[in-house]
Amino acid sequence: MKSNGTPPQLAIDTADASACKALIASLPLTNAREAHQTLVLLLTGLAHRPPPAAAYLEVLEATRAPAAFLQDELAQRYAAKPLPPLPAEGEAFRQLLALWQAMARAYAQVAQIGGADPRVQENLALICQRCVHYAGKAIIEFFRARREPTPGAWIDLHGYYATAEEWQIDGTAVAEPLGEASKSQSAVEAYAAILLVDLASPYSRSAQELAWICRWAQGFAPQTAVRPPDESTGANTFGIDLMRDAGARPLGLLQRTEAVRYFDTRSLAPTIQQALTRLKLGEPAAALGLGSDCPSALAGRLLLHLYKPWCLSAAPRRFPRRGADGIAQACLGFEPIHFHVSGSEFNQPDHVRIYSRDDMERIWTFRDSLEPGQLSVRGAQVQLGYPLERWTVADQSVLGFRLCRGEAGARIAHGQLLCLKPPDGEHFLLSQVSWNLMRKDELHIGIHVLPGVPQGIAARPTGANVSSSERYVRAFFLPAVPALKEEPTLVLPRGWFQAERVIEVFTDRPAKVRLNMLLNQGPDFERLTFTRL
C-alpha cells in the first residue's frame, strides 16, 4: 500500500483469488488502522473485479476472522462514549459500518454471479446466513454507537432474510465459526437474534449489557420462530413487515399483508424462567451459557428486564407518554447541579472551614463586595461558569421526559446524572439519562426523574482514620414520596456506597447516617437508602 499523500492502492489483482487470500493472511493486525483500510480496499476491489464465484466465496470466508477482530478494535474508539460524538469517533463509526455493509453485499454478489456454479448453489444457505449476519451486524453497530439506523438498514436485513425464506433455506443451519453461543446457525436464527436485540431497548443499555444481550440473543434465537400470522395470532404480539424500514412492532399496528411476519417468542418463557430460578439458587451464569464475564446477580437482573419484551405480549407502557412542548433547562456535573439545586455556591460548614491562600487573596481583592460568612467570592464567576442548556421537550410521562437539542452543547453519557427544570416547573429536579441516541444532527435523550424535590447537602466520610477537619463534598437529599412508595434517599458521588458504611451529612447541622441499599447508579453518582443514627 502507498501512503505518500495519494489514495492508497492495492498491489494485487482482485480477480486473482490466491493473491487476495495471501493479502488477507499478511494483514498487519497489530496496526489496526492500516489493516482495516486494506480490507476496505480489498472489498471495494472485489466488488468491481471479482474472481470466479466459488473462489470469491473462499476469499470472503478467509476475510471473516480478521475483519471481526479489526472491527472490534475500531469500535473501541466510539463505543460507550458520550454523545454527540467527536469527529474522530464519527469517522471510526462510518468506517466500521461501511465494512459490515460491504461484507453483506459481497456475499450477495457471490450468489448473483454464481447462479450457474454448482459449488455456489450448494452453499446458498451459507451465503444467505452470512448476508443476514452482516446486515444484522450493521444494525447492532447503530445500537452500539447510539445512532438511529440510516434509511435502508432494516430493509437490507429484511431483504436478505426474505430471499432465504423464498428459497426455502432460511432454516438450514450452516457452520458459523464466529458464533459466541453456537458454532452453527441458520439464516432465520441470525435474523431472530437481531430482532431480540432490537426488542431489548438497546439504547437504554450500557455497553457491557448490550454485549451480553447480543450473545444471549444468539443463544435464545433457535427457540423463536418467524412465520406468517394466522387468524389466531393476537394483535398484541410482535410482528415484522418485510417491506417496512423498521424492526419488530406490535402486530396490531401493522397492516396484514403478505410481507408481514409473526415473531413467535413464546417458547422462550420457560427457558428464561428456569434460568432465573437457577441464578437465584446461586448457580454461576457461565453454567447456564450466559458467559463467564457476567456476574450471576447482574445476569439475573438483566434477564428479568428482558423477560417482558422477549416473552410477554407487546404491552403498553406503565406510564404512557403524552405529547408536550416547551423548553426545559438542564445541566450536568455535581458542581453545577448542586449550585442550581441549592441556589448558591457550595461552602464548607463553619466547623471545617479552612481558608486557603487563594481564598484569602480573593477575600482581600473583593473585600468590599463580600457578604458576612461567605467563604469565597466566586458567586458571579460560578454563575457564569454553570450555564443552563436549553432542551426542547418532545414528550413526557409521570416519571420522565424525552428531550432533544442540536449537536452544540455538553456531551452526555448514558446513565449520567442530569439536573432538569421542566418548562412549567418551579424546582430543579434530579434525573438520570436512561437512553441517548443521535438522530441525524440532533441529540435525543430519555430521562428518568429521581423521585422527590432535591435538597443540596454536604457529606463526608467518618471513621478512626478520618480527621475532624475532613472536608465535605457535594451531595443531595431526596425526601420520601409516599404516592410512589419511595422512601428518603441520598445521592452521592460514584464510589461512596458500601453497605453498612457510616458517613456524616450536613444540612443545617451534622448528622450521622448508615448506608443501606444501592437503588441505582450511573457513571457519576449513586442513589441509596439510609438510616439516621
- The reply to whether 423 and 466 lie within a common domain is no
- The reply to whether 442 and 463 lie within a common domain is no
Is 311 part of a structural domain of the chain?
no
| DSSP-assigned beta bridge partners for residue 260 | 241
- The reply to whether 26 and 96 lie within a common domain is yes
Q: Grade residue 386 by pLDDT with cuts at 50, 70 and 90.
A: confident
pTM over 0.75: yes
**Among 386, 415, 448, residue at a domain's last position:** 448
Position 154 scores a pLDDT of 98
- The reply to whether 491 and 428 lie within a common domain is no
Tens digit of each residue's pLDDT (9 = 90 or more) over 191-229: 999 999 999 999 999 999 999 999 999 999 999 999 999
Is 215 part of a structural domain of the chain?
no
| DSSP-assigned beta bridge partners for residue 435 | 446
Distances (CA, A) of 199 to 187, 230, 402, 522: 19, 22, 19, 23
C-alpha cell belonging to residue 480: 420520601
Mean pLDDT, rounded, for 250-265: 91
Position 466 scores a pLDDT of 77
Is 288 part of a structural domain of the chain?
no
Provide the CA 298 distance to its chain's centre, in angstroms.
16
| DSSP-assigned beta bridge partners for residue 331 | 419
Position 361 scores a pLDDT of 64
Q: Grade residue 484 by pLDDT with cuts at 50, 70 and 90.
A: confident
Is 312 part of a structural domain of the chain?
no
- The reply to whether 127 and 109 lie within a common domain is yes
- The reply to whether 166 and 82 lie within a common domain is yes
SS3 288: helix
Q: Can you tell me which residue has the cell 471473516? A: 64
Q: Which of 285, 181, 162 is nearest to 223 (CA)?
A: 181
Is 480 part of a structural domain of the chain?
yes
In CATH, what number is assigned to the domain containing residue 327?
2.40.10
SS3 422: coil
- The reply to whether 189 and 61 lie within a common domain is yes
- The reply to whether 377 and 519 lie within a common domain is no
Q: Which of 334, 332, 312 is nearest to 457 (CA)?
A: 334
The rounded distance, in Å, linking the Cα atoms of 169 and 186 is 8
Expressed as residue numbers, the domain containing 519 is: 455-532
The rounded distance, in Å, linking the Cα atoms of 98 and 61 is 18
Tens digit of each residue's pLDDT (9 = 90 or more) over 112-162: 999 899 999 999 999 999 999 999 999 999 999 999 999 999 999 999 999
Position 325 scores a pLDDT of 75
Position 382 scores a pLDDT of 52
- The reply to whether 67 and 187 lie within a common domain is yes
Q: Which amino acid type is present at position 115?
A: G
**Position with higher pLDDT, 371 vs 23:** 23
Q: Which of 313, 202, 193, 163 is nearest to 249 (CA)?
A: 313
Number of domains in the chain: 3
Q: Which of 477, 440, 511, 527 is nearest to 90 (CA)?
A: 440
Which one of 58-72, 310-324, 349-363 scores highest in mean pLDDT?
58-72
Position 426 scores a pLDDT of 86
Mean pLDDT, rounded, for 425-430: 91
Tens digit of each residue's pLDDT (9 = 90 or more) over 443-463: 999 999 999 999 999 999 998
Tens digit of each residue's pLDDT (9 = 90 or more) over 374-384: 444 445 545 55
**Among 166, 199, 232, residue at a domain's last position:** 199
- The reply to whether 120 and 159 lie within a common domain is yes
Is 185 part of a structural domain of the chain?
yes
Q: At residue 102, does pLDDT exceed 90?
A: yes
Is 395 part of a structural domain of the chain?
yes
The rounded distance, in Å, linking the Cα atoms of 428 and 389 is 13
